Homo-oligomer: A and B are copies of this chain.
């Protein structure tokens, strides 16, 4: 006995979007997949509080609606993974926009708040202002609690990529909590550096260019 899905029943783009991605947990699943393809149990681990039945149901709907697809297990690893389709990937911009909006409003984390280094990667992507990258041709490497990724700025186009950079002009090492604090505007990079919670290595000018790209410094 299948039940029909709840719908707003409005002939409007936003209502149509929310019919698909408006239910609880759905956009957070999209967030995880925006960072990269995931296995079922990875999603479960990075979405503390979601019921396993609910995750399964959401994945089923998202696949039926064409936002995600299953990467079948290949020869070496017999593990099924989920990944965004182009249609799902097209949500990146608006979702990052919402993340940027929410980042600026974040309060200090309560005791029970979950913190994951991978979310810092999305925070970086949300903070980037590509208009400030017109003259850049370099990359910055981040190590957040051991999770390593880098930002590649190439003449106006900026990408955030998992893994270490080739020849970064800057490496930054910190913990997820501190990084999100900085992104939320509640801690200054200077303060984090002075208290040794943030350690940056590289040319001073490169550090400033990186901070400007992330909206952490004027200019």
Residues of A in contact with B (beta carbons under 8 Å apart) = 8-18, 20-22, 24, 27-28, 31, 48-49, 87, 90-91, 93-95, 97-106, 109-110, 112-116, 119, 122-123, 126, 176-177, 180, 183-184
Please measure, in the bound complex, the distance between the C-alpha atom of A8 and the C-alpha atom of B126, giving whole angstroms.
20
- Name the one of B11, B105, B113 contacting A113, with C-beta atoms under 8 angstroms: B11
- So how many copies of this chain end up in the complex? 2
Known: A12-B119, A101-B91, A180-B11. A27 touches B18 (CB 8 A): yes
Report whether over half of chain A's contact residues are helix, strand or loop; otherwise say mixed.
helix
- Name the one of B11, B17, B103 contacting A98, with C-beta atoms under 8 angstroms: B17
Please measure, in the bound complex, the distance between the C-alpha atom of A126 and the C-alpha atom of B13, giving whole angstroms.
9
The answer to whether A13 touches B99, judged by C-beta atoms less than 8 angstroms apart, is yes
Q: How many Å from the CB of A103 to the closest CB on chain B?
A: 3
